[in-house]
Amino acid sequence: MAGKMNTKTLQTILAFGSLILLIIIFAIASPNFLKFENIIGILLATSVNGILAVGITFIIITGGIDLSLGTVMTFGSVVAGVFISFWNFPIPLGVAMGIMAGGFCGFLNGVAVARLKLPPFIATLGMMMITKGLNLVLSGTKPIYFVDKPVFGQIAAFPVLGIPLGVVIFFASALVAAFILSKTIVGRYTYAIGSNEEATRLSGINTDAWKIGIYSLGGLFFGIAGIVMASRLQSAQPALGPGYELDAIAAAVIGGASLSGGEGNILGTIIGAFIITVLTNGLRILSVPQEWQMVITGLIVISSVYLDILRRKVR
């Protein structure tokens, strides 16, 4: 029994080990890799994908998927831009509206999945197209700049003990998410639904309502990612978004989340997100062309999931 209990932690250790291994390899290969600016760069680069991955971890654990997270993230940026730059609302209000916009998209995804019984793949594919279009409509197809709002740029850049605020927001999101997942009833029902939805329903739990809640929660995280993204770029880039869902899903899966539901944890997802950035960053420092970086990331995703399948077979 004890051996089995450890397999879950084993996988997180395995992922963590691969991350350390990658860092050592790159540190040896290039003296620039462990420089302070580069480490900060890696942290900053991970923050957006990391927050997205944290959000989708909840949804993946229920056995669902969200393809709209990239464009929903941008929807958050654009809504914040519309409020702050077009309508001159105060920055905190604009930020709140951006995050809420993400949450609302998640709510609609949840309704489509739980109430209308659409497959999550289709429901969120539709949401992806809708938000992609809305982003262009709201922004007039042009980037919305926060030119005369230097404070907005500080959301991602403001140094807290030398670490950019964007990174702090990422870690804070991860801590909150880990707490929700392991200590609250939201987390408990997330695992329960992903493990056996019918059994959960028969235990007298309103699984539909909880699923809507979980998709909304994911949406809020995507909204937060949108704000950090816009702050980093000093603008809301309406065409941004597609492609981000793949990195976020990959991070969660490398970290041990199972697309069939019931499994996954925030620590693993964070490690997964870092593996992807470290790989990209290190390969770039070693002057590996970007095209090849993608190929290698793809191989990593496939092999990490295959390793997981092998591990299960051994059990």
Please tell me the distance from the alpha carbon of residue 211 to that of residue 189, in angstroms, as a whole number.
9
Residue number with CB closer to another protein (29 or 199)? 199
Residue 314 interacting with another protein (CB under 8 A): no
Residues of this chain, 1-30, that bind another protein according to CB under 8 A? 1, 4-5
Which run of H or E residues covers position 159? strand 159-160
Shortest distance, CB of residue 199 to another protein, whole angstroms?
4
* Stretch binding another protein (CB under 8 A), from 98-106, 121-129, 140-148, 197-205: 197-205
Please tell me the distance from the alpha carbon of residue 280 to that of residue 250, in angstroms, as a whole number.
14
Residue number with CB closer to another protein (183 or 284)? 183
Residue 202 interacting with another protein (CB under 8 A): yes
Which run of H or E residues covers position 235? strand 235-236
Residue 309 interacting with another protein (CB under 8 A): no
Please tell me the distance from the alpha carbon of residue 280 to that of residue 258, in angstroms, as a whole number.
24
Shortest distance, CB of residue 209 to another protein, whole angstroms?
13
Residue 183 interacting with another protein (CB under 8 A): yes
Q: Applying CB under 8 A, which of residues 130, 186, 239, 246 lies at the interface with another protein?
A: 186
Which of 170, 163, 165, 168 is closest to 154 using CA atoms? 165
Residue 200 interacting with another protein (CB under 8 A): yes
The angle that helices 244-254 and 290-314 make with each other, rounded to 10 degrees, is 30
Which residues have CB under 8 Å from 56's CB, separation 6+?
Answer: 65, 66, 69, 218, 245, 248, 249, 252
* Stretch binding another protein (CB under 8 A), from 189-197, 226-234, 245-253, 287-295: 189-197
Residue 215 interacting with another protein (CB under 8 A): no
β-pairing verdict for 159-160 and 163-164? antiparallel
Count of other CB atoms within 10 angstroms of residue 307: 15
Q: Applying CB under 8 A, which of residues 52, 174, 192, 248 lies at the interface with another protein?
A: 192
* Stretch binding another protein (CB under 8 A), from 37-45, 169-177, 192-200, 278-286: 192-200
Residue 256 interacting with another protein (CB under 8 A): no
Which of 228, 190, 249, 207 is closest to 102 using CA atoms? 228
Chain residues binding another protein by CB under 8 A are 1, 4-5, 183-188, 191-192, 194-196, 198-200, 202-205, 262-263
